[in-house]
Each structure stands twice: as C-alpha cells, then as structure tokens.
Amino acid sequence: MSFGAIAGASGLDVWQTQALSLGMFTGASQFALVGVLGAGGGALVAVLTALLLGARNSLYALSLRPFLASSASTPWWQLLLRAQITIDESTAMAIRYPEGSRQARHAFWATGIAIFVLWNLGTLIGALGAAALEDPRTLGLDAAVPAGFIALLWPRLRDRSTIALALVSAAVAMALVPFLQPGLPVLSAALVALVAERLLARRAP
C-alpha cells in the first residue's frame, strides 16, 4: 500500500505503478526507482540505482539452489516463475529448512506467491488512493518516502561498520546535492560502498 501511495506521489500513474509491482517485484528497488524519478532524476540513473539495489536477489538465488530442485531438472517455466519470486522474504523462509527438503520448497513457493499477491493488491489500493489526492504533501506523503527507505535500511544496520557506512553514504550524498543532477548524489553512494568493501577486505583475513 505504501509503495502505491508513494509512487503516485512521485508522479507515476496507476498503470506504471502496478507494472513495477508485477514486473520488478523487489521492494527496495521499486522505492528507489520512483524516489529518484520523483526527485527529478533521469531514467538511466533511476534504473541503475534500482538494479544496484536488486543485485542481492542474484545472490539469494545462488544460495537458494541447494534448497530447491536443481535448475537443470526443473521445467523452464517453473524456473522462470521461481526467479520472479526470489526476494528477501521467500529466501529467508526457505533457508530455515533442510537443503533439498519438501518443506524448504514449500516455504519458498508459499511465501513468494503470498507476498506477490498481497504486494500487488496493496500497490493497487495505494496507487488508486494517491491518484485521488490533489496535493500529496498535505497528507505528508513526501515524508513517507524517506521513512520507507529508513525502514528498509534499519534491519541491515547490524554492526558498527555498516552503521558507519550508512552515515558516510548519507553525508556524501547530501553534500553532493547542490552540485549534481538529481539522482546522481544517491548513485555516488555506490562508490562509497566500493571503498568500504576494500577497507573491509583489508581488515578481514
């Protein structure tokens, strides 16, 4: 629901908003795409930010391989469906069960499909609601955008180094706002992450 409302407040129509929930179907990337577009950023920058955020799904799929039926023995249409519902929640539920077990497969599909349906219904309700508003600011929808991002960020702040990375990224992006086109300051945080990775690599054995 929050995604539909926020996308509507960012200038997407109901169809575009719904297409994102059906097609992209990965929360953080969807919020990022509409956030960058809503702030006046270009399409290319918006897509790049969304895909950098979505790259983790690729590793989820990788870690799910031993839990689900092998890719080679799975019908192609099932593999295509499986890919679409590979997100934080379905991965987290599946890997709680033994590798290759029926429960793991069941948890993956049940969670993925349930969230797909609920997420898309919620999007539709939120988008229709936002479309009925004249000025989304009076309802504070512009304040809902950063709140959504910090709620997505919160569970990832596990230790001191990730908190430090978050603070530095936020500071760098803000400092660049007056000098770069909208969208690019956020993308610059990817460079901060690259530097952080090198620093962590040096510390780790």
- By CB under 8 A, what part of segment 175-194 binds another protein? 177-182, 185-190, 192-194
Decide whether 29 or 111 has the Cβ nearer to another protein.
Answer: 29
- The CA distance from 141 to 162, in Å, is 28
Cβ 105 to another protein shortest distance, Å: 14
- The CA distance from 93 to 87, in Å, is 10
Q: Which stretch binds another protein (CB under 8 A): 11-19, 94-102, 103-111, 113-121?
A: 11-19
Contact assessment for residue 181 and residue 41, using Cβ atoms and an 8 Å cutoff: yes
For another protein, the binding residues in 65-104 under the rule CB under 8 A are 65, 71, 79-80, 82-84, 86
Segments of the chain assigned E as strands: none
Cβ 131 to another protein shortest distance, Å: 14
Phi and psi at 165, nearest 5°, equal -60, -45
For another protein, the binding residues in 47-66 under the rule CB under 8 A are 47, 49-62, 64-65
Cβ 186 to another protein shortest distance, Å: 5
Instruction: Report residue 17 as tokens.
Output: 């908003």
- Cα-to-chain-centroid distance, residue 139: 24
* Closest to 31 (Cα-Cα) out of 20, 23, 42, 40: 20
Among 8, 25, 67, 94, binds another protein (CB under 8 A): 25
Contact assessment for residue 4 and residue 128, using Cβ atoms and an 8 Å cutoff: yes
Q: By CB under 8 A, tell whether 26 contacts another protein.
A: yes
For another protein, the binding residues in 133-172 under the rule CB under 8 A are 137-154, 156-157, 162, 165-167, 169-172
Among 8, 46, 94, 123, binds another protein (CB under 8 A): 46
Please, where are the H alpha helices in the chain? 2-9, 14-23, 27-38, 43-64, 76-84, 88-94, 102-131, 141-153, 160-176, 184-203
Q: By CB under 8 A, tell whether 114 contacts another protein.
A: no
Decide whether 62 or 110 has the Cβ nearer to another protein.
Answer: 62
Q: Count the site residues for another protein by CB under 8 A.
A: 97
Among 35, 67, 119, 123, binds another protein (CB under 8 A): 35
Contact assessment for residue 166 and residue 153, using Cβ atoms and an 8 Å cutoff: yes
